[in-house]
C-alpha cells in the first residue's frame, strides 16, 4: 500500500531529479578541482538528455499497458531511468573556465534545492494525509 501511495505522487520523479543533481554536482566539483591540471578536459552530465530520459520513463510508466502491471505489482515498482547517468557523461575539449564551472555549479545547486523543497513538501502532504490532520 505505501509503495503505491508513493508511486502515485511526484515523489519518484523528484527523486530522480535529486539523484541527477547530486551526480552532476560531483562532476562539476571535479572540474573545479582539476582546473589547473594540464590537459584536463571538463566533464558534465547532459541536462537535456536527462530530461528526455525522465520524460520517456514517465510516459512509459503512465502508459495504459503498464498501468495495470504497476498497480498490481506487489514489489512496488518505482520510476527508474535506464542506464542511470553513465551514458550521458560528456567531455568538453575546450579549456576549463572557472567562471563557467562556478556558474553551472550554482545553477545546479539551485535546481537541486528546488527539487529537495518539492520532495519535502510532498512528504509533508503525505504525512498530513496519513495522520488525518487536514
- Is 32 a domain residue? yes
- Is 92 a domain residue? yes
- Is 48 a domain residue? yes
Check residue 77 and give its pLDDT. 46
Domain count, the chain: 1
CA distances from 108 to 24, 54, 63, 79, 119 (A): 7, 17, 30, 22, 16
C-alpha cell at 117: 523543497
- Is 104 a domain residue? yes
Residue 114's CB: how many other CB atoms inside 10 A? 13
- Is 51 a domain residue? yes
The H or E element that residue 104 is part of is: helix 98-131
- Is 130 a domain residue? no
The per-residue pLDDT of the chain, averaged, comes to: 77
- Is 131 a domain residue? no
Model confidence at 29: pLDDT above 90: yes
- Is 61 a domain residue? yes
pLDDT tens string 57-99: 888 877 776 554 433 343 344 555 555 454 555 565 556 678 8
Domain that holds residue 7: 2-125
Alpha-carbon gap, residue 31 to 104, rounded angstroms? 11
Amino acid at each position: 500500500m505505501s509503495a503505491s501511495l508513493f508511486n502515485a505522487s511526484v515523489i519518484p520523479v523528484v527523486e530522480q531529479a535529486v539523484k541527477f543533481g547530486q551526480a552532476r554536482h560531483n562532476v562539476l566539483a571535479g572540474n573545479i578541482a582539476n582546473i589547473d591540471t594540464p590537459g584536463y578536459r571538463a566533464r558534465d552530465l547532459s541536462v537535456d538528455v536527462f530530461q528526455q530520459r525522465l520524460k520517456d520513463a514517465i510516459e512509459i510508466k503512465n502508459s495504459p499497458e503498464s498501468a495495470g502491471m504497476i498497480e498490481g505489482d506487489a514489489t512496488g515498482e518505482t520510476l527508474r531511468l535506464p542506464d542511470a547517468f553513465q551514458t550521458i557523461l560528456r567531455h568538453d575539449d575546450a579549456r576549463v573556465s572557472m567562471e563557467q564551472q562556478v556558474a553551472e555549479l550554482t545553477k545546479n545547486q539551485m535546481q537541486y534545492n528546488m527539487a529537495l523543497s518539492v520532495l519535502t513538501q510532498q512528504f509533508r502532504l503525505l504525512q498530513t494525509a496519513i495522520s488525518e490532520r487536514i
